[in-house]
Amino acid sequence: MDPFLLEALVNGILLGGVFALPALGLNLVFGVVDVVWLCYAELVMVGMYAVWFLFTQLGWPLPLAFATCLPIVSLLGIALHYLVVRPLLSSPPINQVLATGGVLFLLQGAMTLVFRTEFRSLGVDMPPMEVGEIFVSGTKLAAFCAALVGAAILWAFLKYTYVGTAIRAIARDREVMPLMGVDPQRIYLIASAVGGALAGLAACLLVVQLDVHPFVGLSFGPITFMICVMGGLGNMLGGFLAAFLMGIIVSVGGFWGTTEFSYVVAFGFFIVTMFARPRGLFAR
Amino acid sequence: MKDLGTTRRGLLQSGAGLAAGALTLPATVARAQAPARGGDPLRVGVMTDLSGPFAGAGSQPLFWGAEVAIEMFNAAGGVDGRPVQAITADSQSKADVAINEAERLLGQERLEVVTGIYSSAHAVPLSGRFEQSKKMMWITSAIATAVLKDKNFRYVFRPTVHSDQYGEGSVSMIHEHAQAKLGTAPDKVKLGVIYEDGPYGTGVSSAIEANAKQRGMPIVLKEAYAATAPDLSTLVTKLRRERPDVVFQVGYNPDITLFLRQAKSGGLRFKMLIGHGAGWSQIDRLTETFGADVNHMCNVDPAATQMLDWSKLGPGVGDLAKAFVEKFQAKHNLRDLPPHASMGFNNTWIFLEHVLKPAVRKTGGMTADALREAALEIDIPTGGTIQGYGVKFAPPGDAMAGQNQRSIAVVMQFDNGKSRVIWPTAIGVPPVLPLPAGHAFAAR
């Protein structure tokens, strides 16, 4: 096998790992609360700024900055639910989308005011792994592993805890579960907190790979939404798998064609998927 | 009833909004319609990207440079006591916002001239609009040749360089030094060209290709990408497969930093990397992010004024450059002023001093036609501006009508956080070529 093609394939899988976490968080919130957080990528952006600020400005050790980022963005998720989503739960879906879209611009504007428009960087890099003619980015590999661990912890939480079971139950039938004693408002809040924490974890993985600026969400936000829809909105496993599929399409498509062509292929595949399986590629 | 309540509240809010609008509208109209009497400010539009990705890729210092120019011009008395009032607009790194803001400046503010315009992706659609409305567009940054080529615009002027000059600079520099520095005949030096897919990247990359072809230099990979792409690692893999000796990148930001980061971790090595303005001109930011990894890399742009020997500029120009650098550094803490700061100041100063002033003095007012006539009469020799170039605009009927025919792009090399001119060879210092052994990107 062409070693460069193999490298492109590996890069695609690692890229999928980057997309997977935000896709998981977004799907979790949508599956449970039934609201699309249009500002999800901006929550990640705030988390990236938090890590950058704690690490470079306050001199905190990087692991501590990472550990602090998770509760910060988790709290932001809770605040978003309390202040924006909850008052609109019974409103038409378009109102909810517009409201979280408003938060998107609010967060971009707030970060521009606080940190200005400069591109910030952690200046942290890990040496690449060289296997024969193949180079694998150490930073991307570490991020990929962390994404897998994060996804595994989320899976265990949803599978083996009472709250996790309640979350899955609510996601399956929002109408019936309250009749069985489950408090939906509490579950919504927990799902928002976990969704926020996943955005925080995604921020930790992305901040070592991308520069931080108020509009960094544009780089991965739209494609994350596409992945969620392709995997089936609210379907966590579907979104997770679709992230890797998208990563491989982009990477290998770019290798055989051009970088621009790879996105044409990816979007073309998305459109065909929507025609063939409107509820998502992995919908049951 | 719930719907009714919402509707009622909505109506109340709309009513409040209309009332607020009615209160502010007369003031706006009154300001826009005020006749320009002696002592009245001369209103000039300044449109740049103060938010969005372009802000961090040079548009912010472009604005700051223009701001300093207007402050210094006003401090020196403006036009016979009439100060210049900047009517600013933030195009937010979005073409649709740029178009809307241009409509506001032309329609509501009733401006005769708008200066600035950082991005070629904005300049292309805006130029036609200005031409149609017969108002002056004075481009201080957007460099795509396509903005003016074969358009025969009469109201669009660009005192700065255009993209064909970038390709000529970078390819010529490598061609001139290939044998002596790289030990390779020029026609054996392999070039790789990667570029953002907007008019800026497309324009410069086409110029690189044309110049390489003219000199018989092989291009082993030429590929476009979106500046907002989340990943460029496949591009790195393909470059590594093709093994170019020299990589040419045309990008904004964050694509430049993303590429460098992934190139390093992807094992890409080369003899030289040459950037072409925009994000590559933000040396402070690049050095802050990559440290020694960007040392000795090159960039093409009009020279930042502090790179020039001010004593060799025209009478008084060196003093102007010195005053600008001191004032700029007092306001903005930058170690090495990016070329965009000089571009913002210089091209705005040319407008204020050599277009606005004579036009107002000649006609007593400020119309786009008077400004246009003054622009076409400019004849500043080389060395007459703080960036070293002269000014003489191509006349109507020329293939590049409105383009400054005396603009100059230079190739500069990063040297421990500073930039120094290495091309044109006659005015530059000898380049460090190839990247020295031990450099993170040096070909082994």
SS3 B48: strand
pLDDT, tens digit, for every residue of B280-335? 988 888 888 888 999 999 999 998 998 888 998 999 999 999 999 999 999 987 77
Q: Which of B427, B389, B395 is nearest to B411 (CA)?
A: B427
The residues, any chain, with a CB within 8 Å of residue B293's CB and separated by 6 or more, are: B260, B264, B439, B440, B441
Q: Which residues of A touch B232 (CB under 8 A)?
A: 259
The answer to whether A128 faces chain B, any CB pair under 8 Å, is: yes
Q: Which has more pLDDT, A236 or A77?
A: A77
Contact in structure between A50 and A199 (CB atoms under 8 Å) = no
**Span B229-258, mean pLDDT?**
92
**A179-196 burial string, b = 16+ CB within 10 Å, else e?**
eeebebeebbbbbbbbbb
Question: Tell me, what's the pLDDT at A121?
Answer: 86
In sign, the C-alpha dihedral spanning B62, B66, B71, B73 is positive
Mutate which of B258, B265, B333 to disrupt the A interface (most A C-beta within 10 Å)? B265
The rounded percent of chain B whose pLDDT value lies above 70 is 91
Number of other CB atoms surrounding residue A268 within 10 Å:
12
Q: What is the CA radius of gyration of chain B?
A: 23
The rounded percent of chain B whose pLDDT value lies above 90 is 73
The answer to whether A74 faces chain B, any CB pair under 8 Å, is: no
Question: Tell me, what's the pLDDT at B284?
Answer: 81
Question: Tell me, what's the pLDDT at A245?
Answer: 93
Question: Tell me, what's the pLDDT at A138?
Answer: 87
Same fold, B34-161+313-377 and B164-301+409-423: yes
DSSP state of B140: S
In one-letter notation, the amino acid at residue A38 is L
Question: Tell me, what's the pLDDT at B47?
Answer: 97
**Span B11-26, mean pLDDT?**
33
**φ/ψ of residue B209, rounded to 5:** -60, -45
Instruction: Identify the band that residue B35 occupies on the pLDDT scale cut at 50, 70 and 90.
Output: very low
Question: Tell me, what's the pLDDT at A284?
Answer: 65
> Number of residue pairs across A and B with CB atoms under 8 Å?
116
**Span A19-36, mean pLDDT?**
87
**Span B380-404, mean pLDDT?**
95
The answer to whether A273 faces chain B, any CB pair under 8 Å, is: no
Question: Tell me, what's the pLDDT at B2?
Answer: 35
The answer to whether A57 faces chain B, any CB pair under 8 Å, is: no
Q: Which has more pLDDT, B30 or B443?
A: B443
What is d(CA B303, CA B246) in angstroms, rounded to the nearest whole number?
Answer: 22
Between B60, B228, B289, which is nearest A117 by CB? Answer: B60
Q: Which residues of A touch B257 (CB under 8 A)?
A: 119, 121, 211
Reduced 3-state DSSP string for B157-207 = EECCCCHHHHHHHHHHHHHHHHHHHHCCCHHHCCEEEEEECCHHHHHHHHH
**Span B206-221, mean pLDDT?**
96
Q: Which residues of B touch A123 (CB under 8 A)?
A: 288-289, 291
Please tell me the CATH code under which domain B34-161+313-377 is placed: 3.40.50.2300
What is d(CA B352, CA B138) in angstroms, rounded to the nearest whole number?
Answer: 11
Structure tokens at B288: 């802050």
Q: Which of B247, B280, B257 is nearest to B434 (CA)?
A: B247
Contact in structure between B171 and B186 (CB atoms under 8 Å) = no
Global pTM?
A: 0.84
Domain residues of chain B, as ranges?
Answer: 34-161+313-377, 164-301+409-423
Contact in structure between B102 and B118 (CB atoms under 8 Å) = no
CB contact under 8 A, A118 and B56: yes
What angle separates helix A236-256 from helix A3-33, to the nearest 10 degrees?
Answer: 150
Whether A128 shows a pLDDT value over 60: the answer reads: yes
Query: Was domain A3-115+138-276 assigned CATH 1.10.3470?
Result: yes
Whether B16 shows a pLDDT value over 70: the answer reads: no
Q: Which has more pLDDT, A80 or B51?
A: A80
Whether B37 shows a pLDDT value over 70: the answer reads: no
B58 → chain A, closest CA residue: A118
Site of tokens 């379907």:
A235
**φ/ψ of residue B151, rounded to 5:** -95, -25
Whether B42 shows a pLDDT value over 60: the answer reads: yes
Fold entry, domain B164-301+409-423: Rossmann fold (3.40.50)
Q: Which of B234, B230, B224, B222 is nearest to B266 (CA)?
A: B234
Structure tokens at B34: 């005020």
Instruction: Identify the band that residue A32 occupies on the pLDDT scale cut at 50, 70 and 90.
Output: confident
Between A18, A109, A137, which is nearest B262 by CB? Answer: A137
Whether B116 shows a pLDDT value over 60: the answer reads: yes
DSSP state of B289: H
Partners of A130 in the β-ladder:
A135
Of A223-237, B98-112, B262-276, least confident by mean pLDDT is A223-237
Of A11-20, B32-41, B281-290, least confident by mean pLDDT is B32-41
The residues, any chain, with a CB within 8 Å of residue B277's CB and separated by 6 or more, are: B58, B143, B166, B204, B250, B299, B300, B301, B339
Question: Tell me, what's the pLDDT at B268?
Answer: 94
The answer to whether B53 faces chain A, any CB pair under 8 Å, is: yes
CB contact under 8 A, A220 and B230: yes
Instruction: Identify the band that residue B338 occupies on the pLDDT scale cut at 50, 70 and 90.
Output: confident
pLDDT, tens digit, for every residue of A70-105? 999 999 999 999 999 999 888 888 888 899 999 999
Whether B25 shows a pLDDT value over 50: the answer reads: no
The answer to whether A126 faces chain B, any CB pair under 8 Å, is: yes
A206 → chain B, closest CA residue: B230
Please give the mean pLDDT across all residues of chain A. Answer: 89
SS3 B45: strand
Question: Tell me, what's the pLDDT at A110?
Answer: 94
B267 → chain A, closest CA residue: A135
**φ/ψ of residue A203, rounded to 5:** -60, -40
- Taking CA atoms, B273 is separated from A15, B59, B171, B297, in Å, by 26, 23, 12, 6
Mutate which of A119, A255, A258 to disrupt the B interface (most B C-beta within 10 Å)? A119
Question: Tell me, what's the pLDDT at B252?
Answer: 86
What angle separates helix A40-52 from helix A217-231, to the nearest 10 degrees?
Answer: 140
**Span B229-241, mean pLDDT?**
93
Contact in structure between A236 and A181 (CB atoms under 8 Å) = no
In one-letter notation, the amino acid at residue A220 is F
pLDDT, tens digit, for every residue of A169-213? 887 777 777 777 778 888 899 999 999 999 999 999 999 888 899
Structure tokens at B372: 């246009």
Q: Which residues of B touch A44 (CB under 8 A)?
A: none
Question: Tell me, what's the pLDDT at B31?
Answer: 38
Of A177-191, B176-190, B243-257, least confident by mean pLDDT is A177-191
Between strands A129-131 and A134-136, the pairing is antiparallel
What is d(CA B346, CA B66) in angstroms, rounded to the nearest whole number?
Answer: 8
CB contact under 8 A, B230 and A254: no
pLDDT, tens digit, for every residue of B1-13? 333 333 333 333 3
**Span B223-252, mean pLDDT?**
93
DSSP chain A: --HHHHHHHHHHHHHHHHHHHHHHHHHHHHHHH----TTHHHHHHHHHHHHHIIIIIS---HHHHHHHHHHHHHHHHHHHIIIIIGGGTTS-HHHHHHHHHHHHHHHHHHHHHHH-S--B------PPEEETTEEE-HHHHHHHHHHHHHHHHHHHHHHHSHHHHHHHHHHH-TTTGGGGT--HHHHHHHHHHHHHHHHHHHHHHHHTTS-B-TTTHHHHHHHHHHHHHHH-TT-HHHHHHHHHHHHHHHHHHHHHS-HHHHHHHHHHHHHHHHHH-TT-TT--
**Span A28-56, mean pLDDT?**
92
Whether B216 shows a pLDDT value over 70: the answer reads: yes
Domain residues of chain A, as ranges?
Answer: 3-115+138-276
ipTM of this model? 0.88
**Span B168-189, mean pLDDT?**
95
Q: Which of B406, B409, B307 is nearest to B354 (CA)?
A: B406
